[in-house]
Structure 1
Amino acid sequence: MDTGTHVLMGFALGGLATFDPAIANDPTLAHAVLIGTLVGSQAPDIDTVFKLKNNAKYIRNHRGMTHSIPALFIWTLLISVTLFYIYDTSFFHVALWTFIAVSVHVFVDIFNSYGTQALRPFSKKWVALGIINTFDPFIFIVHLAGIVLWLNGHHAGYTFLAVYVVLIGYYIIRFRQQQAIKRKLKQMFPDVEQVITVPTIKWNEWHLAVTTSNHFYVARAQNGTIDVLDIFEKCPIPDIPIIEKAKQDENLAAFLSFSPVYRWEIHEYNDHYEVRFIDLRYRSKNYYPFVAVVQLDLDLNIVSSYTGWIFSEKKLRKKLELIPS
């Protein structure tokens, strides 16, 4: 989820914790628990700092180890010990609700198309259910409404219990929507191998990437109707020197470690080659913005590369800088 929604979830969990009489009757403990849920709801996203280094480091590390099984306990311990020494109050209650906040953060991130490596260290597989958009207006508004009711004197525990009952129902509805789309796609493409759904900010619109035995299909589901937007032949990556050399570049390696469905291109120019990999999950205005590009000279030395989100060819050329095409 986005940062704003995670913040609201931290407040909501702090309010929900007041169901515990020990917390409700102790202002100091209640304050410590609220700080714990707020910090815990943000802590896993500290890996965003890798963005300051470069996109390759960010793609490889964001929602990786910081969202793993060991991280749930490490974040809980670090935050709870700190709060225990600051507030000198019940370590158990602070640790319990901090753990819940960290776990909820990782859990809800699984439901969007980006996903997390939540199964680490047992598996580096990306777990991405593709049911909820990274920013979901309904989830945000329901949390915000709960906080407003709390600030206006309503019982925090009951208010946020109602919020989460509503949200559980919402997640079930979104799951049923996704399953209905997948059933239609399997009817359209009997040889389907993989379906990736990317929910948009709009309630009834989903981006789709479908893999069959011979093709990739990029489609859109809107109001129950599925429209195929692009069709690409499914071609195995060739085992040739230019590709093998390009794979050694950290930008392309990061892209391949993250993207589950993509197509590739090789372009030959007078003085260089260009290898491009294009993620098919994301399509915006007839353009695929998430790419990895490696440029090599005629001796197959890497001279420029880029991976990340780019929304025009002109901007991509500026990022590559060294060799215009």
Structure 2
Amino acid sequence: MDTGTHVVMGIALGGLATLDPSVATSHATATSVLIATIAGSQIPDIDTVLKLRNNAIYIRNHRGVTHSIPAVLLWPLLIVAVIYPFFPAANLLHLWAWTFAAVFIHVFVDIFNAYGTQALRPFSSKWVALGVINTFDPIIFGIHVIGIFIWILGANPGISFLLMYAVIIAYYIRRYQAKKRVLVGVRAIIPDATEIIIAPTMRYHQWRIAAMNKQQFFVGEAVKDQVEILDRFNRIPVPKTPVIEAAKKDKNLSAFLSFSPVYRWEVDEYNDFYEVRFIDLRYRSNGHYPFVAVVQLDRDLNRISSYTGWVFSEKKLRKKLSIIPS
């Protein structure tokens, strides 16, 4: 989920914690738990700072080790170690338990996004992504904001957030059922599909679709369970040419290939350099595919420039690469 949603989830969990008698009867415990649940709902995303270095490192590592099983166990200990000295009268066990819940819930809800997490590390580096809830879901965010507002108005936070979470669980179930209906629709159109990726959007009834069979890639969307295929591309295996093999050594393209499961490729030759482009097919937006990796090589196959990430126009891509082909 996005940062804002994780913040309101942390606040809501702190309110829910008032159902715990050890929290409800101790001001020190209640205050420290609220601070800890907000911190715990944020700390797995500390790897976002990697984006300050470059997109390649961020793509390769975001939601990786910081969302792993060891991290889920260690983050609560770290948070409690920082907070507890300021609230020595707090119940240490219950402070740890609610902090652990905040960290665990952060990782758990991220699994339902299309991006997913490597939550099974170190046992598996596989990305776990159920693709049921968008990274920012306005309904989930809105329900949390309403719950917090009701708390501010004086309602019992424990009961309020307990009811709120019951609604959210029902919402998750409905989203899962909606995705299953879309999957049935895709299989009706592409019965020989070998892989189908269905991703939610911020719009409740709209889904992105990327699929493949042995011959083609299919890109489409579903609106109110009605599936439409928008683009088709022939599946052409990536050749092991000197140009492509040289491009694959670039850190940006390498990061892209470690992350993207469905993509097509292009190689363009200009007067004095080659350009290798890999295009992720999962994120079609207004006829454009914004998530790409591009590597430019000179005639001796030395890297000139490269980029991976989101670009919504060719002009912006050229600016990032700092080269405009003649």
TM-score (norm 2): 0.98
C-alpha separation between the residues in 2 aligned to 1:324 and 1:46?
Answer: 38
In the aligned structure 2, how far is the partner of 1:125 from the partner of 1:49? 23
After superposition, residues 140-155 of structure 1 pair within 5 angstroms as 140-155=141-156
Q: Which residue pairs with 1:244 in the alignment?
A: 245
Corresponding residue pairs, total:
325
- Whether 1:46 and 2:12 are equivalent positions in the alignment is no
Query: Aligned residue for 2:94?
Result: 93
Q: CA deviation at 1:233?
A: 0.6
Q: Please show how residues 266-277 of structure 1 align to structure 2 within 5 Å.
A: 266-277=267-278
- Opposite residue 64 of structure 1, the aligned amino acid is G
2:191 aligns with 190
Verify the 8 A CA contact 1:215 1:233 in the aligned structure 2. Answer: yes
Whole-Å separation in 1 of the counterparts to 2:41 and 2:164? 17
2:202 is equivalent to residue 201 of structure 1: yes
Unaligned runs of 5+ in 2: none
Deviations 1:167-215 (A, max 9, x none): 1100000000000110111111111111111111111111110111111
- C-alpha displacement of 1:75: 0.7
Higher mean Cα deviation, 101-110 or 81-90? 81-90
CA distance in 2: counterparts of 1:210 and 1:297, whole angstroms: 34
- For residues 153 and 224 of structure 1, the distance between their equivalents in structure 2, rounded to whole angstroms, comes to 41
Q: Deviations over 1:67-99 (max 9, x none)?
A: 111110111110011111111122211111111
CA distance in 2, matches of 1:235, 1:19: 58
Contact 1:303 1:322 (8 Å CA) reproduced: no
* Most deviating of 41-50 and 83-92: 83-92
Which runs of 4 or more aligned residues in structure 1 lie more than 6 Å from their structure 2 counterparts after TM superposition? none
For residue 21 of structure 1, report the CA deviation from its aligned partner. 0.7
Deviations 1:234-254 (A, max 9, x none): 111112221111111000011
Structure 1 match to 2:58? 58
Residue of structure 1 equivalent to 2:219: 218
Match of 1:3 in 2: 3
SS of alignment partner, residue 121 of structure 1? coil
Instruction: List per-residue Cα deviations over 1:250-276 (Å, max 9, x = no partner).
Output: 000110111111111111112111110
Give the letter aligned to residue 198 of structure 1.
Answer: A
**Residue of structure 2 in register with 1:29 after alignment:** 29
Task: Quote the Cα distance in structure 1 between the aligned partners of 2:125 and 2:263.
Answer: 19
The percent of aligned pairs where both chains have the same amino acid is 59
Aligned to 1:321: 322
Q: Is the 8 A contact 1:113 1:199 kept in 2?
A: yes
Q: Distance in 2 between matches of 1:158 and 1:74?
A: 30
Over the aligned positions, Cα root-mean-square deviation in angstroms equals 1.0
CA contact (8 A) 1:113 1:129 kept: yes
Residue 278 of structure 1 corresponds to: 279
The worse-fitting range, judged by mean Cα deviation, of 238-247 and 27-36 is 238-247
CA distance in 2: counterparts of 1:24 and 1:246, whole angstroms: 59
Q: Report the Cα distance in structure 2 between the residues aligned to 1:283 and 1:261, rounded to whole angstroms.
A: 12
* TM-aligned CA deviation for residue 322 of structure 1: 3.8
Q: Deviation of residue 306 (structure 1)? A: 0.3
After superposition, the C-alpha distances for 1:144-187 in whole angstroms (9 at most, x for unaligned) are 11111111111111111101110110000000000011011111
Q: Is the 8 A contact 2:22 2:91 kept in 1?
A: no
Name 2:230's counterpart in structure 1: 229
Any stretches of 5+ residues in structure 1 without a counterpart? Answer: none
Given that residues 207 and 282 in structure 1 are in contact (C-alpha distance below 8 angstroms), is that contact kept between their aligned partners in structure 2?
A: yes
- Distance in 1, matches of 2:57 and 2:22, equals 44
Q: Aligned to 1:311, what secondary structure does the other structure show?
A: coil
